[in-house]
Amino acid sequence: MSSSRSIVVSVIAMIVAIIAGTIGFMFSEQLTFFDALWLTVVTILTVGYGDTVPQTFYGKLFALIIIPIGIGIVTYATGAVVSMMMEGEFSKTVRRRKMKKKIEAMTNHIIVCGFGRVGEQVVRELVKNGTAVVVIERNTDRLEEMNDPIPYVEGDATEDDVLIAAGIERAAGLVAALPSDADNVFISLTAKGLNHDIQIVARAERPESEEKLRRAGADKVINPSFLSGRRMAMTMLKPVSVDYVDTIFHGHAEQYAIEEVTIEPHSSFVGTSVRDQAVRTRFHVTIIAIQRQNNMIGNPTPDERFFVGDVLIVFGEKRALEAFEQAVNKK
């Protein structure tokens, strides 16, 4: 039994003993409710003030019964409190309550299921980009030891109650990063059932599981083994190119980045072309591609026009990208 549960049990036992003692002394000693309550409390806590004592035979007999019960309850409760303090359970309980309230107030966050090797990297990348994250993990020891605590829910991500506790109904996305393809399939299926609009990215260890994950509701399926093998091969064949890409995405300075900018209906870019907006000259960024509905237009020409709903994939310095995004959707 955990220390917190032991304290709850001891408190309930003490309340029951006080109620029983109060009723017993009221009938055996013919005392008022308050006097009977006072006598019960000082008896159970073994205070022994002596101002009110049992006078009748049945009152003394009842006291002989309740005194050892009270000593046992007090001893049990004291041991539970000391155990909780020694194990740090009290601080953990307080921290988890604060975390629960924080999760309940979160919206449009990302839920990451699993905090293993893959899940941890996903979380670190999301946090680095300022995205609100909630982790679902069975073993939370590593999460509790982190200097910068990340909101988490302890439990099995395949269970509805755990996903609901993580705010699945208010979340914008979910990453199923468990090592088991079967678990990720079940998570994707359950998550879509609880939130039809949620964006799901799922991990797949076996190629044959990728289609199953898509049918279960995953919008994107990532195979870490395939990507790692391909990256190692490309590092061998084209080391300079890979180093340059690493500098862009993982450089310590983080000067450059790739951003996605959506053309809103009120944008002044609607109906104009890349040449009309002089994107590279004015903003010093490069439009790598344009996603238009289900089509991807790579390396768009200067005559390519912008339409509502277009997603521009843009490369450049972070400050330039921020200025470009503000200009695109300025009202």
One domain, residues 119 and 65: no
Residue 76 lies in a domain: yes
The pLDDT, as a whole number, for residue 273 is 93
CB-CB contact of 257 with 318 (8 Å): yes
DSSP 305: B
Question: How far is the C-alpha of 273 from the C-alpha of 93, rounded, in Å?
Answer: 58
CATH for 114: 3.40.50.720
SS3 content of the chain, % helix, strand, coil (to 5): 55, 15, 30
Residue 48 lies in a domain: yes
One domain, residues 212 and 139: yes
Q: Please list the ranges in the chain whose pLDDT falls under 50.
A: 252
Residue 276 lies in a domain: yes
The number of C-alpha atoms within 13 Å of 319 and in the hemisphere containing its C-beta is 1
The pLDDT, as a whole number, for residue 155 is 92
One domain, residues 126 and 214: yes
Question: How far is the C-alpha of 151 from the C-alpha of 323, rounded, in Å?
Answer: 32
Q: Count up the domains in the chain and report the number.
A: 3
Residue 95 lies in a domain: no
The pLDDT, as a whole number, for residue 255 is 72
Question: How far is the C-alpha of 308 from the C-alpha of 269, rounded, in Å?
Answer: 9
One domain, residues 216 and 259: no
Question: How far is the C-alpha of 202 from the C-alpha of 180, rounded, in Å?
Answer: 11
One domain, residues 273 and 213: no
The pLDDT, as a whole number, for residue 59 is 84
Residue 214 lies in a domain: yes
Domain boundary among 173, 198, 222: 222
Residues in contact with 233: Cβ distance below 8 Å, sequence separation at least 6, in sequence order: none
Cα 326-328-331 angle, rounded to 5 deg? 75
DSSP 130: T
Question: How far is the C-alpha of 66 from the C-alpha of 29, rounded, in Å?
Answer: 14
Residue 228 lies in a domain: no
The pLDDT, as a whole number, for residue 111 is 97
Question: How far is the C-alpha of 215 from the C-alpha of 185, rounded, in Å?
Answer: 9
Residue 314 lies in a domain: yes
One domain, residues 8 and 64: yes
One domain, residues 118 and 53: no
Domain carrying residue 295: 255-328
One domain, residues 119 and 38: no
CATH for 307: 3.30.70.1450
Long-range Cβ contacts of 202-211 (<8 Å, 24+ apart): 202/175, 202/176, 203/114, 203/118, 203/175, 203/176, 203/177, 203/178, 203/179, 205/179, 205/180, 205/181, 206/181, 209/181, 209/184, 209/185
pTM of the predicted model as reported, rounded to 2 decimal places? 0.62
Sheet-wide strand order for 220-222: 152-154, 133-137, 110-113, 173-176, 199-203, 220-222
The number of C-alpha atoms within 13 Å of 316 and in the hemisphere containing its C-beta is 22
Residue 232 lies in a domain: no
Q: What is the DSSP string of 151-179?
A: -EEES-TTSHHHHHHTTTTT-SEEEE--S
| Sign of the Cα pseudo-torsion (48, 51, 54, 55, in order) | positive
The pLDDT, as a whole number, for residue 316 is 87
The pLDDT, as a whole number, for residue 1 is 55
Domain boundary among 57, 87, 117: 87
One domain, residues 127 and 73: no
CATH for 24: 1.10.287.70
What φ, ψ does residue 30 adopt, rounded to 5°? Answer: 55, 45
